[in-house]
Amino acid sequence: MDLIALVRALHLGAVAVLIGGLAFPLLVLPLRRVPQPQHAALSDWLARLRLYATWVALATWLAWLAPVAMAMSGLGMAQALRPGVLELVLAQTRFGHVWLVRCALLLLLAGWLAWTRPRAARASGRDAIGLALAAALLVSQVFAGHATAAPASHVVADALHLAAAAVWIGCLPPLLFVLARARAGAAPWDALALAAARGFTGMGVLAVAVLAVSGFLNGRMMVGSLQALVDTGYGRLILAKIVLFAVLLALAANNRLRLTPLLASDPAHRLVAARRLWRTVAAELVLGAAIFGIVGVLAGSEPPAHRDDGPGAMQDHMGARMPE
C-alpha cells in the first residue's frame, strides 16, 4: 500500500470511528439506560474517541489534497503545492469544492465536539446533532470519488454503502470498551455488555442487508463484468473485499447465535462469554481495518467499467481537469 492509499484508508477509518462513537449511544446502548458511575465513564470515553477521530480525519483529509493536485496538474509535489496550482484545484474542480466543504464540516465538528465534551454526561440531543454533521461529512465523501461518474442511483447506493459500513465498523470500538470491562469481572458491566451486544446485533442485521445490496450494485457499476472481476487488479481487490466481508459475517453470526446468549446465563458462563466475545469483536475490527485499507487502494484506481470512457476518465471522476 502506497502512502496516499494509507492516508485514504486512515481518513475513512477515522470518519467511521467518529460515526460509530456518535451512533453507539443512539442505536446500540442508550446512555439513559446506563447507571452511574458507568454512565460517566462511557460518556467521557466516547467524547474523547469522537474528538480524536475528528482530528485524525481532518489531518488525513488535508493530506489527501497533495496527491490529487499532483494527479490533476501533472506536476511534482513541490510544484503542485504552489498557491497558484492549489487555487486552481480548489476553485475550478469538483474535488476542490468537495474538499473545501468537507474541511468546513470537519472544523465545525471539531468545535462542536470540543464544546460538548465537558457536558458529555448530560448529552442527549447533542449526540443526534453531532451524528447529523458526521453523516453529512460521510455522504460528501461520495462526491470526491468514482460514484459521481455514474448515474444518480449509484451515487445513492455508494452513500448507503459507506453509511452502513461506517456504522457497523465504527460501533465496534465502543462495544469493545464495554466488553473489556465485563470480561474483567466488573459486575455492573455484565448487564451493559448484554444490552450492547443485543443492540449491536439488531443494528448489524440492517447494516449487513444494506451493505450486501449496495455492494452488489456498486460492483456491477464499477467492475462491469464477471470477467473483469477476475482479470483486473481492481476486480481482484473487490474479490478480496468480498472475502473479508464474508469472514466478518461469519464472526457476527457466531457472536449473535452462540456468544451473546451466554451473556444472559450464570456468572461463570457470562465471564467466559464476555472474554470470547471481546476477542471476536476485536477480530471484526481488524478485518474492518483491512477492508478500509482495500477501499483506500480502490479509491485511487480506475474501475474497469470506466476505461471505456476514454483516457480522461480517472481525472474526470475527481473533478474537472486542470485548465491548460
pLDDT tens for 230-266 read: 888 888 899 999 999 999 999 988 888 888 888 887 7
Cα(95)–Cα(98) distance, integer angstroms: 5
Q: Measured between alpha carbons, how far is 77 from 278 in angstroms, rounded to an integer?
A: 44
Give the whole-angstrom CA distance, residue 8 versus residue 183.
34
Give the three-class secondary structure for 35. Answer: coil
Percentage of the chain beyond pLDDT 90 is: 37
Q: Look at residue 306 in the predicted model and tell me its pLDDT.
A: 61
DSSP string for residues in 97-116: HHHHHHHHHHHHHHHHHHHH
Task: At 281, give phi and psi (nearest 5°).
Answer: -65, -40
pLDDT (0 to 100) of residue 46 = 93
Asked whether residue 56 carries a pLDDT value surpassing 90, the answer given is yes
State pLDDT tens for residues 164-215. 999 999 999 999 999 998 888 667 888 899 899 999 988 888 998 999 898 8
The pLDDT, as a whole number, for residue 120 is: 52
The whole-number average pLDDT for the span 19-35 is 90
Please tell me the least confidently modeled range out of 16-30, 159-173, 212-226, 238-252.
Answer: 212-226
Which residue in this structure is represented by grid cell 460492483?
A: 219
Task: Please tell me which of 24-28, 116-120, 141-145 the model is most confident about, judged by mean pLDDT.
Answer: 24-28
Tens-place pLDDT, residues 277-288: 999 999 999 999
What ranges make up the beta strands (E) of the chain? none
Q: Is the pLDDT of residue 322 over 90?
A: no
Asked whether the CA dihedral 204, 213, 95, 307 is positive or negative, the reply is positive
Summarize pLDDT for 103-135 with one digit per residue, the tens: 999 999 999 888 887 655 455 567 788 889 999
Is the confidence at residue 90, as pLDDT, over 60? Answer: yes
Q: CA angle at residue 75 from 73 to 81, to 5 degrees?
A: 85
> Where does the pLDDT of residue 269 fall: very low under 50, low under 70, confident under 90, or very high at 90 and above?
confident
